Amino acid sequence: MLTKISTSIVALVGFAIVTATTATTEINNNSLRGEDLNLNSKVQLELFYMPQCPGCRQLITTSFNEAFNTPGFSDMVDVTFVSYGNVRATKGSLRIFDNVIESCALDKIDSQDVQFQFIDCIDHSYSTKDASKVDMECAHIIGLFQDTIREIEICAATAEGHLLAHNMVLRSDVVRPQYYPWIQVNGIHVGAAENEVWDSLFKYACKVYTGQNKSPHCPGEGEDDLLAEQL
């Protein structure tokens, strides 16, 4: 009888050790995966702007333009564009905004690079045409698929577009920008960081990105390879 009890106790202890070891291994593996995710996490940047405002136009067509046209930038930074529009009219409980097409385009275009192309095209246009016509012309200029353009047109012609624009305003109201353009990095606004973004968004991204996918065009990157080629 004692022998059977002893055998059972040994078996239970052995099972507990194996279970604990397995659990520890899983925790360690999960931790390693978490570390890998942290190593490859992108910088989160939000640009709060008003369409066609002079300062916004300047930032978008210079520093942001340089960054988005430099290979590897989007591997380091996720950019969210938050377009703040003015209320043009009110129909019942629905507020009509002047940036509805831009809000629809940002919603229907999945790629941040293409989103930027659209915004950049608009801000490079100094046309006296109606803003909505410029927006749709830019949709064609940057080569959006016809299906996407149609989705944007339907969105802008319905309550969906004005609700999207309204949500943009709500998002800005939560942050309460003191001026436009207003920049947040990883959810925080810091004046010094904003100044660096004005100087060069790409160089700032290279400075703060700590992942493994740093662009080879970052200052100091690829210098060893270049030296080897010269030798």
The tokens for 132 are: 């909505």
- pLDDT per residue over 71-103, tens digit each? 999 999 999 999 998 877 777 766 667 789 999
- CATH class of the region 43-208: alpha beta
Comparing 149 with 5, the larger pLDDT belongs to 149
- pLDDT per residue over 54-67, tens digit each? 999 999 999 999 99
Strand 43-49 to strand 182-185: parallel, antiparallel, or no bridges (unpaired)?
Answer: antiparallel
- Give SS3 for 102: helix
Domain boundaries, the chain: 43-208
Least Cα distance to 47 among 59, 61, 30 occurs for 59
- pLDDT at residue 90, rounded to an integer: 76
- pLDDT per residue over 130-155, tens digit each? 777 889 999 999 999 999 999 999 99
Least Cα distance to 208 among 223, 186, 189 occurs for 186
% of the chain residues with pLDDT over 90: 64
pLDDT at 33 over 60: no
**For all residues of the chain together, what is the average pLDDT?**
82
Least confident of 109-123, 126-140, 187-201: 126-140
H/E run at residue 10:
helix 2-39
pLDDT at 30 over 80: no
Cα separation, 126 vs 135, whole angstroms: 12
- pLDDT at residue 34, rounded to an integer: 38
- pLDDT at residue 38, rounded to an integer: 53
User: What does each C-alpha distance from 61 to 100, 102, 133, 143, 193 come to in angstroms?
Assistant: 21, 17, 20, 19, 19
In degrees rounded to 5, what are phi and psi of residue 83?
A: -90, 120
Cα separation, 113 vs 122, whole angstroms: 14
For residue 216, cis peptide bond before it (omega within 30 degrees of 0): no
Three-point CA angle 84, 86, 91, nearest 5°: 125
Cα separation, 205 vs 208, whole angstroms: 5
pTM equals 0.77
- pLDDT at residue 222, rounded to an integer: 63
